[in-house]
Structure 1
Amino acid sequence: MEERARSCLLRSKATLEQDIKASYLMDHMVSDGILTNDEESRVLGKPTRREQAAALLEVLLRKDNRAYISFYNALIRESYGDLANLLHRDLPLLSPEGERSFADGVSPSVQVILSEGGVPQRPVVFVSRPALLNLIREKLYRLQNTPGWVTVFGMAGSGKSVIAAEAIRDHALIKECFPGGVHWLSVGQCERADLLVRMQSLCFRLEQGQSSEASQRPPCSVEEAKERLRFLMLRRFPRSLLILDDVWDSSTLRSFDIQCRVLLTTRNRGLADSVSGEYFEVPVESGLDEEKGLEILALYVNGKPQKLPEQARSIVSECKGSPLVVSLIGALLREFPDRWSYYLRQLQKKQFKRIRKSSSYDYEALDQAMDASLQVLEPEHRDLYRDLSIMQNDVKVPAKVLSVLWDLELEEVEDVLQELVNKSLLFRDCNQRPYHYYLHDLQLDFLIEQNRDQIACSWLCLSPRVQRFTDRP
């Protein structure tokens, strides 16, 4: 519903609640196809006439322009002429193309749903990734008739949150699959007390408009919050989508295993194994291609990709197309447009700590984002991962090589490697048997910067043994 019409309904809400009889109006709106029989039943289930009127208005405020017009017409038909006059001036006009004809592809009704659900707005500098968007939407359509999980996973700075938010900016997807709305919750790394606060916030948001005082009391524990959310999603928001952004551990995720539809972003591919129901995976590639990287830089400096200086291509190449790094450098170049050569040199020297810029992302620089991934590993696995700094760019090695490096049994090495792959800290080439493993260049650069003083000694000690394996074709 467009902002002007929605604002009019909110201004007139008290008067409408006091005077209308919802049951009379809903007959017309059901006939118009605006209200479903389930929505009508929920409204009529309220104990008093005024509560029914309030419930009807709450439903209307989540719908599109057609709902406003249908409600207005119902008021006319039921001789509420004075109330219809309150709405007349702000009647929206429906174009022949309906609500799909908007430059950014997001209709007013969808924008209201996203805003109410706490979905982050599109970044000022945004470059679409159509193939990835379509893949996420295809998986979300699988949840049309059944609860389940869609997991969007990838390494730090790959753009998971932005692409997840963009995927649901789609009129048809929301109308057909999630008419109950979408509800975004940023989770992150949090202790149990912090998790409870986040769950309380979500409960509060979902309970807006309820009249029962008991339901407004914040849940006192994670378990109580889980049951409250289960009830709310089942009774008040069926066929809605819960979006859990940046989940780190399985115990946190189990707190939201409430038999609803969930879109999950995470660095840990294996998290969904800990919950019930169907789930689908969407990997996010770690780097943009050169064309997309140049497009981002051009948007930051208000130019055209073909007009960028020659250092632009080298910058995109050096940062391996990482959306985070390209955006960090683009934001810096917007303020210091003569520093193309300077930032290229910092990338070439692996000086990630000098490339930082405050942004909407949780981390100001790549080294912080990478380090956060390391900190969730067991201490002994963290040390093993740091040993990978002796690996070489674009070299893939089998587990047998790493069993020599780590001096561990092959089976134990394979278990460690599986954990690192699941947490997007390592990549596996499944086209070779046995599997071969490799680091993204940015991950390797980060480890080298972290362990610069230890590399020479380690390599001298291990080189005769490891080189025998890495030299093999």
Structure 2
Amino acid sequence: MDAKSRNCLLQHKEALEKDIKTPYIMDHMVGDGVLTTLEEEEVRNEPTQQKRAALLIKMILKKDNYCYVSFYNALLLEGYKDLAAFLQDGIPVVSSSSDKDSVGGITTYVRTVLCEGGVPQRPVVFVTRKKLVNAIQQKLFKLNGEPGWVTIYGMAGCGKSVLAAEAVRDHSLLEGCFPSGVHWVSVGKQDKSGLLMKLQNLCARLDQDESFSQRLPLNIEEAKDRLRILMLRKYPRSLLILDDVWDPWVLKAFDNQCQILLTTRDKSVTDSVMGPKYVVPVESGLGKEKGLEILSLFVNVKKADLPEQAHSIIKECKVVECCHRGMLTDLLYKWNQS
């Protein structure tokens, strides 16, 4: 961790320990890959809230710049705007470079941009789907800096969110098309109050220095206007990613002449919005070979060494790329019962 970041964290350590509640903060950090589940469990085992916060900060101080950025973003996302402001001056600057990260060939520039934008990490069990990722990237290139919509649609569990995150995990795409960054919003099924909260949180993330307003928007229309101004003036060449959109009316709040990538089960959700629209359909199941690859990764056995039962398990469970741990555990249980 940079000395400036470390000093900033130490300077405000007491205030952070006093006020933060760690469970949701840690959820974000585990999702960003900067905190392990073992470390999370260690913090949870502390007897008081303040001791849990103290241990978490102690862990962060031993980690790198990405952990600092993840912690900062988690504070914003969980409503600790004042505490996040304490850490703003210590945010490390990582220059755009072609140097490769030691994991997966991802550049430090890509890793930082995605971490700051709240883009989820790859799942623990991950297999590539290059053809689909390339299709999404080609659609994003077609936007060519102009407002428009790229929609990834398919049935629940087909890997839409994983594909959206993987599509932006690309140095040339980010640097060439979205130099102002990417901003991930997990939308889900919302009522009006839930949507307003999502918009308020997004506006707070985009206006961390409060250059446009010191208060949150009070209603959806005001939030839409605030978002439009922020995207136009501060992030004119950025990508907004809306994950798991259910209802067309929700998109009206984001119909602000932005470049948007969204995932949904219903491709008609964009019927009423303005601008160019591109779609990428995702089939609900993977092929047999990809299913075997997922199973082999989960049980840590080479694909060629999987027993014959694995083929029937794959067929029965219709394995998909985004496999949740519960599904994989079920696979393993069926294997053991075979």
TM-score normalised per structure 2: 0.71
Question: Counterpart of 2:138 in structure 1: which amino acid?
Answer: E
SS where residue 293 of structure 2 aligns? helix
- 1:193, CA displacement in angstroms? 0.3
Distance 1:321 1:333, change over 3 A: closer
Larger Rg: 1
SS where residue 151 of structure 1 aligns? strand
1:146-203 per-residue CA deviation (whole Å, 9 max, x = no partner) reads 1111000001110100111111111110000000000000000011001101111111
Contact 2:146-2:259 within 8 A present in 1 as well: yes
- Where in structure 2 are the equivalents of 1:323-472 lying within 5 Å? 323=321, 328-333=326-331, 336=333, 339-340=334-335, 342=337
SS where residue 225 of structure 1 aligns? helix
- Where in structure 2 are the equivalents of 1:236-255 lying within 5 Å? 236-255=234-253
Contact 2:246-2:265 within 8 A present in 1 as well: yes
Q: Percent identity?
A: 52
User: Aligned match of 2:314 in 295, 313, 316?
Assistant: 316
Structure 2: gaps of 5 or more residues:
9-87
Distance 1:106 1:9, change over 3 A: farther
- 1:274, CA displacement in angstroms? 1.1
Distance 1:108 1:8, change over 3 A: farther
User: Aligned match of 2:287 in 275, 286, 289?
Assistant: 289
User: Aligned match of 1:64 in 83, 86, 95?
Assistant: 95
Contact 2:285-2:318 within 8 A present in 1 as well: yes
Contact 2:317-2:331 within 8 A present in 1 as well: no
Distance 1:191 1:224, change over 3 A: same
Higher relative contact order (CA 8 A, sep 6+): 2
Q: Counterpart in 1 of 2:232?
A: 234
Does residue 120 (structure 1) correspond to residue 120 (structure 2)? The answer is: yes
SS where residue 216 of structure 1 aligns? coil
Distance 1:166 1:295, change over 3 A: same
Contact 2:177-2:237 within 8 A present in 1 as well: yes
Q: Counterpart in 2 of 1:301?
A: 299
Contact 1:144-1:176 within 8 A present in 2 as well: no
- 1:304, CA displacement in angstroms? 0.9
Distance 1:12 1:179 in 2: 29
1:353-386 per-residue CA deviation (whole Å, 9 max, x = no partner) reads xxxxxxxxxxxxxxxxxxxxxxxxxxxxxxxxxx
Distance 1:197 1:112 in 2: 25
Distance 1:195 1:152, change over 3 A: same
Does residue 157 (structure 1) correspond to residue 188 (structure 2)? The answer is: no
Distance 1:12 1:325 in 2: 41
SS where residue 190 of structure 1 aligns? coil
Q: Counterpart in 2 of 1:111?
A: 111
Distance 1:205 1:172 in 2: 24
Structure 1: gaps of 5 or more residues:
14-56, 67-97, 345-473
SS where residue 280 of structure 2 aligns? strand
Distance 2:260 2:4 in 1: 31
Question: Counterpart of 2:209 in structure 1: which amino acid?
Answer: G
- 1:12, CA displacement in angstroms? 7.6
Distance 2:101 2:244 in 1: 32
Contact 2:107-2:171 within 8 A present in 1 as well: yes
1:73-128 per-residue CA deviation (whole Å, 9 max, x = no partner) reads xxxxxxxxxxxxxxxxxxxxxxxxx3246431321121111111111111111111
Distance 1:326 1:9, change over 3 A: closer
- 1:61, CA displacement in angstroms? 5.2
Matched positions, count = 260
